[in-house]
Amino acid sequence: MITVGVEEEYLLLDPETGLPVPRADAVRAAAGLDPVSEEDEVQAELLQAQVEIATPVCTELDEVGGHLLRLRHAIGSAAERIGCRAALTGTAPVKPAEPVPVTPKARYLEMRCQARRLVDEQLINGMHVHAGVQDREMGVEVLNRIRVWLPALLAMSVNSPLWEGRDTGFASWRTLVYGRWAVSGPPPVFAGVGDYDRRVARLVDSGVISDAGQLYWQARLSEKYPTVEIRCTDVQLRADDAVMFAGLVRALVATAVQDAKSGAPLPDCPQELLQAATWQAARYGLSGPLVGCEGGRHSARDAVGLLMRHLRPALDEAGDSREVTALVHRLLRDGAPADRQRRAMAEGGLPALIELITTQSTAP
């Protein structure tokens, strides 16, 4: 059984104005006093208006869901105690007039010196799923095989349509903001782990990135853990949707491992088409066409159907089929979180939007 762990990033907002507030230290301290959270599960992020949580390593999706509910409740309760709210949105819907202070860590301060405007606008929140792959050579095989499916995952996860108080026209504006960094977007194909390591070393030696942590590919080998880390998804409104993505990612990695062991050929998708598919997924989410690896156009629903057929054996083997399939069907029926954000903004303005993105943390 492939293990999974989930990291989520939350924004701290003023409950009246929706503006990001630099209260991360106070929220982390308050959450740390709560007996339901451990110190290493609540972490600092780049900007002081953000908090990151990390679940323990899990073998069952029920574990993932339990930890996410526990940690979301701890952060949400801590934020309310100090007068702000934790928001489950991929972008800050309203930007402050002055930049949010950077968390005073050497690495973050260096990033601000390197790319001030990018850091100032890094008010974005993602969800990262770590899937256990002990062997790094196999990890690179997995990266080469899952990259073609990342646009479909992105389209399902979109939760960041608003920026500076306006609709961007994109379902995942976070993807566009993140894509401005030097090394970002879909990962390339690697000849093996030696090729991966050499290319990463060259990037670091170039000085354009400070370390491997600045590899902002949508999937990469983790530098901390024996895992493949999938980073393409926006943070989710609902905890069970985050569980759905944990199950999908685990099945995607398990399928890639099995295909590698059986000698199945690598999926053929040129980097430029994969980049175009990523842009299209960020633009439309589940509401428009997606670009296929052959260059054709497919409905997002057809793309999700192809993904589910690809993953069915692995979902069955893990015992996750029923739960994940039901959640995918609900997503297709109700629409992606970006659609819900747009409806809230249209029907009730900023107050309704704030209510939506700050009260879904413990939704069943």
The 3-state secondary structure of 171-239 reads CEHHHHHHCCCCCEECCCCCCCHHHHHHHHHHHHHHCCCCCHHHCEECEEECCCCCEEEEEEEECCCCH
pLDDT of the residue at 197 = 97
CA-CA-CA-CA torsion sign (340, 362, 103, 227): negative
Reduced to 3 states, what is the DSSP secondary structure of residue 37? coil
Q: Give the separation between CA 92 and CA 102, rounded to whole angstroms.
A: 16
pLDDT of the residue at 304 = 94
Q: Where do the structural domains in the chain lie, given as residue ranges?
A: 4-359
pLDDT in tens, 237-287: 999 999 999 999 999 999 999 999 999 999 989 999 999 999 999 999 999
| Domain covering 4-359 assigned CATH 3.30.590.20 in the classification | yes
pLDDT in tens, 94-151: 999 999 999 999 999 999 999 999 999 999 999 999 999 999 999 999 999 999 999 9
Query: What's the whole-number average pLDDT of the chain?
Result: 94
Q: Give the separation between CA 237 and CA 337, rounded to whole angstroms.
A: 7
C-alpha triplet 181, 96, 19: angle, nearest 5°: 110
Regarding pTM above 0.85, the answer is yes
Q: Give the separation between CA 8 and CA 299, rounded to whole angstroms.
A: 29
Q: What residues of the chain score a pLDDT lower than 50?
A: 362-364
